[in-house]
Amino acid sequence: MKTSILSLPRTGNSVIGILMAGIALLAGGCPPPAVEVKPADRIQTRTAAKALVVVHSRTGNTASAAKKLAELLHGDFVHLEGPKGEGDNWSAPKRSEQIPYSPPTVDLAPYELIVLGSPIWWYYPTAVIYSFIRNHNLAGKRVILLYTNEGGIRDGAMAEWTQLVESRGGKVIEMIAINRKQTADTPMAEVIRKMVTPKLPTWQAGAPSPR
């Protein structure tokens, strides 16, 4: 089965992204403030869940979509916390670096379907979600990749993310792309509900893995 991509129309590209970042830096602008997430909101569990949604989200946008997706899948939810101050000045750890995050490990044994969510920072998924993947065995797991972005994405970024997952034994069956420029006036939970509802029957835990 070929991996498909659920995506809203995307207008940005890497060149535009570079120009926007440069303008922001010259103007002395700052990224949106990080959202403080209460410990009780970082992990949510549901009885007999066979799906798990893991997300890194600094401002809460990607987390809003991921949390709704966990609800639709009747799955558990984990919001990863990166290093303090990460992304506060338009900078971010290199995705090639193994960086600390919390919780450092999650027992994946009960789950058949794993959703990995991340914003796009500097044209790629974040170092936090990459570090989580490298730290976990995804053997035999079906995996959905979820990302949000406002600027550009490098050619090959999604292939790189997929290759990282598959190097840990997972099988990517879907990508969900949400362009915030196209959805600024719509709550993220509603955006994700409309995008994924037609796909839910094919994602339900217990469905045969694609070959």
Under 8 Å CB-to-CB from 68, ≥6 apart: which residues?
188, 189, 192, 193
pLDDT score for 7:
45
pLDDT score for 155:
87
pLDDT score for 75:
95
Question: Of 86, 159, 166, 90, which Cα lies nearest the Cα of 122?
Answer: 90
In angstroms and rounded to an integer, the radius of gyration of the C-alpha atoms of the chain is 16
Q: Which residues of the chain have pLDDT under 50?
A: 1-4, 7-30, 205, 208-211
* Tokens, residue 5: 């991509």
142: exposed, middle or buried (Cβ count in 10 Å: 0-12, 13-18, 19+): buried
pLDDT score for 27:
36
